[in-house]
Structure formats: structure tokens, C-alpha cells
């Protein structure tokens, strides 16, 4: 009888574990918890409607009437897209499939910025996907700052729980007056809550949305230790499922900080994420956030004593 009970308990443990753990060639991969699908709440638009070529025109390939876009890095150039408008608050998302193979020094960035207008005190909200070097694994870095420069960044890094080269995955920025949330496949991986401690570095000016691929050998690989090897080029990143729903501002008047946001007739406010449901994370979303930070996060600026002799106020 004791043997049967032990066998039953072991079977239950294996079954329970399988709900949360998969094993692949990359080792143990934990399944994420279920969360609300925020990306299902907003319309998808063609890249031809929401974005224009920023640079590397010959390396930007639009497909299926603009529903898909490939941005390419090769020996001649990187490439990138920029939104046709600037936005003050909103919901910004795209599905991305990253280049496979040896990608050290290659960086795919999906981000918001106004550096073109505010050279010395610009705002940024960044997803930066860093090609692998020694670990043979893409790394996801997030960053956020306002009224500053890259020297004032607030970087965090996580290892992804999937292979981002095998299929499309959604990368989403939610930005409003309450918080900034970075989401991957609708799972929050980082939340920056607006409060007095962070107010001086909280993005406050309208920004454009960018998607770029570029050679970051000097920046992303320990000063060029593992540079881009163009023997493996071209490096092709594919984009789909574009969602840009924000407080739209004409670029020529972007300094008005939202005072001339165009209202969508279907929204009660010019800010589509101003409602109570976007003011804080739900219990499901908090569980997802804690899951990512507990199992996949490996760097936070708030723990970098070598970089900061005095920790930024929000770290306290």
C-alpha cells in the first residue's frame, strides 16, 4: 500500500511539473503563466500606413501589401523604420522574428525616442534584442529614461524563455501617466511606475516609434570583442502585427507635449490607455511579471554598484 501511495504521489508530481516545465535542446524552459491578451484590444495596421523608411531603403522589404516588413543588415547597411507621427502616451506593439545563426554584434531595436529633436535631453523607451556571442542565445534588454542621454539609462536584461528565431513573438510598450510596461507575448517583463522618485527621468515628451537593425559590435560585444561576422549575412528580421494606438501629434508641432493630440472618435479620450484598466497591472499580469523577474532576469541597473556609487532614487 505504501508503495502504491508513493507511486501515485510521484505521478502527481511529474504531471504537475509538466504543466510548468518543458525540456528542449536548449535545456529546461519554463512555461509562462496565462495573462490577458492586451494586443487583442487594438487594431493591427499595415507598416505602409503607420511607418516610413528611416534608413537603408534597399534593405527594407515590405510584403503582403505592407502587413509584413523585413529589415536587413548586410555589409552595405543596416535598415530601419520610423512612425509617420509622434505620440504622447499609447500602446505600441509588433511581432518580430529574429535572424538565426551566428548573430554576435547584431542588434534589433524596437523603441520610442525623440533624439532627433532633443539631442541632449531626449526621452527613450527601448526594447533592444542583442545577438548572441558566447552563450549562443539572444538577450533582451529594456531601457527607459527621460530628459537625458544613454548615460542616464535604466537598463535591465532577461533571457527569453523561447527561441526568438523560430517564430514571431509580440513585443509591446504601454506608456501612460501611471506607468510604463514592457510586455513580451502579453506577459509584463518590466514595469516602471510613475512616482516622485522617478519623475525627473520619466519620459514626458512626444516620441516616434522605431524598428531598426544595425551593427552594434563596439557597443554590444564588450568593445568589439565579438564583432558582426558578415560571412553569415544577410541578417533578416521580420516584423508583423503592427499596432500603433496613441495620442498622435503632428511632428512639426511636437513640442506642444500633447496639447494638440488628435482624438479618435471611438475613444473617450485622446489617450487610448488612460482608462482604469491600464492604470495598474492585474493579478494575472503581476504573476507574469514576477515569473519573468524570478526565473529569467539576470541584470538590473538597480543592483549595479560598480556603475552607481549612489543608486538612482527610484532604486530605493
- For the chain, the structural domain boundaries read 32-315
Q: Is 218 a catalytic residue?
A: no
**CATH no. of 32-315:** 2.60.120.200
pLDDT at 59 over 60: yes
**Calpha distance 183→169 (Å, rounded):** 11
Q: Which of 99-113, 131-145, 230-244, 259-273 bottoms out in mean pLDDT, i.e. has the lowest?
A: 259-273
pLDDT at 201 over 80: yes
**Calpha distance 54→136 (Å, rounded):** 30
More confident residue, 189 or 22: 189
- For the segment 219-248, the average pLDDT, to the nearest whole number, is 88
190 within 8 A of 291, measured Cβ to Cβ: no
Exactly one of 22, 57, 124, 155 is catalytic; which is it? 124
Helix residue spans in 51-208 (DSSP H): none
**Calpha distance 316→188 (Å, rounded):** 22
**Calpha distance 244→262 (Å, rounded):** 14
| All three cell numbers of 187 | 506577459
- For the segment 281-310, the average pLDDT, to the nearest whole number, is 95
Percent of the chain with pLDDT over 90: 70
**Calpha distance 267→293 (Å, rounded):** 34
pLDDT given at position 220: 60
**Calpha distance 244→207 (Å, rounded):** 12
At 178-194, the pLDDT tens digits run 999 999 999 999 999 99
Exactly one of 6, 57, 128, 155 is catalytic; which is it? 128
Q: Which of 60-74, 107-121, 238-252 bottoms out in mean pLDDT, i.e. has the lowest?
A: 238-252
The whole-model pTM stands at 0.86
Phi-psi region of 42 (alpha: psi -120 to 50; beta: other; left: phi over 0): beta
Phi, psi for residue 147 in degrees, rounded to 5 = 55, 45
| All three cell numbers of 237 | 528580421
pLDDT given at position 264: 43
**Calpha distance 14→6 (Å, rounded):** 12
Nearest to 163 by CA among 186, 140, 133, 134: 140
In the 8-state DSSP scheme, what is residue 66? G
pLDDT given at position 270: 67
Strands 169-175 and 86-97: antiparallel
pLDDT given at position 153: 82
Q: Is 57 a catalytic residue?
A: no
pLDDT at 8 over 70: no
Nearest to 42 by CA among 87, 91, 89, 83: 91
Amino acid at each position: 500500500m505504501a508503495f502504491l501511495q508513493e507511486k501515485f504521489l510521484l505521478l502527481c508530481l511529474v504531471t504537475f511539473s509538466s504543466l510548468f516545465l518543458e525540456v528542449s535542446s536548449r535545456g529546461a524552459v519554463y512555461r509562462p503563466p496565462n495573462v490577458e491578451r492586451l494586443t487583442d484590444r487594438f487594431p493591427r495596421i499595415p507598416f505602409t500606413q503607420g511607418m516610413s523608411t528611416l534608413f537603408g531603403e534597399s534593405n527594407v522589404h515590405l510584403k503582403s501589401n505592407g502587413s509584413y516588413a523585413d529589415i536587413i543588415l548586410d555589409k552595405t547597411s543596416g535598415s530601419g523604420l520610423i512612425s509617420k507621427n509622434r505620440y504622447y502616451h499609447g500602446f505600441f506593439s509588433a511581432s518580430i522574428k529574429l535572424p538565426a545563426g551566428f548573430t554576435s554584434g547584431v542588434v534589433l531595436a524596437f523603441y520610442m525616442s525623440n533624439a532627433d529633436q532633443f539631442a541632449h535631453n531626449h526621452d527613450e523607451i527601448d526594447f533592444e534584442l542583442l545577438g548572441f556571442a558566447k552563450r549562443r542565445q539572444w538577450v533582451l534588454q529594456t531601457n527607459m529614461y527621460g530628459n537625458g542621454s544613454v548615460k542616464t539609462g535604466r537598463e535591465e536584461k532577461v533571457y527569453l524563455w523561447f527561441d526568438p528565431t523560430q517564430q514571431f513573438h509580440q513585443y509591446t510598450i504601454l506608456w501612460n501617466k501611471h506607468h510604463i510596461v514592457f510586455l513580451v507575448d502579453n506577459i509584463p517583463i518590466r514595469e516602471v511606475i510613475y512616482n516622485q522618485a522617478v519623475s525627473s527621468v520619466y519620459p514626458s515628451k512626444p516620441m516616434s516609434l522605431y524598428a531598426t537593425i544595425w551593427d552594434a559590435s563596439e557597443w554590444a560585444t564588450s568593445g568589439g570583442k565579438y564583432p558582426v561576422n558578415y560571412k553569415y549575412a544577410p541578417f533578416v528580421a521580420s516584423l508583423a502585427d503592427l499596432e500603433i494606438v496613441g495620442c498622435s501629434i503632428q511632428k512639426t508641432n511636437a513640442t506642444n507635449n500633447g496639447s494638440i493630440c488628435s482624438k479618435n472618435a471611438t475613444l473617450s479620450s485622446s489617450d487610448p490607455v488612460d482608462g482604469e484598466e491600464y492604470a495598474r497591472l492585474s493579478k494575472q499580469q503581476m504573476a507574469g511579471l514576477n515569473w519573468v523577474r524570478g526565473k529569467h532576469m539576470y541584470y538590473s541597473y538597480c543592483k549595479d554598484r560598480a556603475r552607481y556609487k549612489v543608486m538612482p532614487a527610484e532604486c530605493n
